[in-house]
Amino acid sequence: MDLNADLGEGFGIWRLGDDEALLDLITSANVACGFHGGDPSTMRRVSAAAAERGVAVGAQVGYRDLAGFGRRHIAYAFTDLRDEVTYQLGALDAFCRLARTRVRYLKPHGALYHAAAVDESQAAALVAAVSGYDEELPILCAPGSTLAQLAVGAGLRVVAEGFADRGYLPNGSLVPRTAPGALVADPEEVAVRAVRMATEHTVVAVDGSVIPCQVESVCLHGDSPGAVAAAELVRAALLDAGVTPKPFA
């Protein structure tokens, strides 16, 4: 099972989360590409640190929205979004090359992640960007989403991910961040959920129902309170359950 986390989301002198500590625990790093968070120096630092540890680097692409941290929906023209995603991929890949590695996958961030799950135009723009840049790049996204379906149709590899530290609705979608139960704050509960995803391929929704969760990667949000403690428990719990954390790419 892959463990991924959002990293490099600071900007200038502002730091968000403990990138270095998380890099010692995860297997794939979703590195912000400067639009919703991150900047050139941060991208270079995190890419190099990931390469030193053998952690796969993925481009976490988002809306051009630093002020809103990429969590506000933006209505994009297909070509504009396609080109902005390509721009972000190329920027991160340049710093990866300096670290003797490369971008290994793409994951949308925040509002773009949720939009691409249901919006055909925005999902198609992501697929077009990946297909044009490197058709070998997998797309990390929600299973069964519009993005996943279009990517498979275009011949791209799709890697389904689950969120051990986010609440799920009975229909399999995430609880909106503005609603109660959106975040799972207890590190021990996060670890239990991660093991369940890896071994039983299910998750408990906010209403107590058990729903399918067929995933290859578990996401741990690097900006969540106690993210490092949760990641330590998740990794240890997976190993105890006989599951070896390893990158999918």
Mind listing the pLDDT tens digit for each residue in 156-176? 999 999 999 999 999 999 998
For the segment 58-80, what is each residue's pLDDT rounded down to a tens digit? 999 999 999 999 999 999 999 99
Query: From CA 52, how far away is CA 114, in angstroms rounded?
Result: 32
Task: State how far the Cα of 178 lies from the Cα of 140, in Å rounded to an integer.
Answer: 24
Residue 225 CB-density burial (10 A; 0-12 exposed, 13-18 middle, 19+ buried): exposed
Q: DSSP code of 174?
A: B
Residues 29-64: tens digit of each pLDDT? 999 999 999 999 999 999 999 999 999 999 999 999
**Stretch (H or E) spanning 3:** strand 2-7
Report the SS3 class of residue 19. Answer: helix
Is 147:117 a contact under the CB 8 Å cutoff?
Answer: yes
pTM of the entire predicted model? 0.94
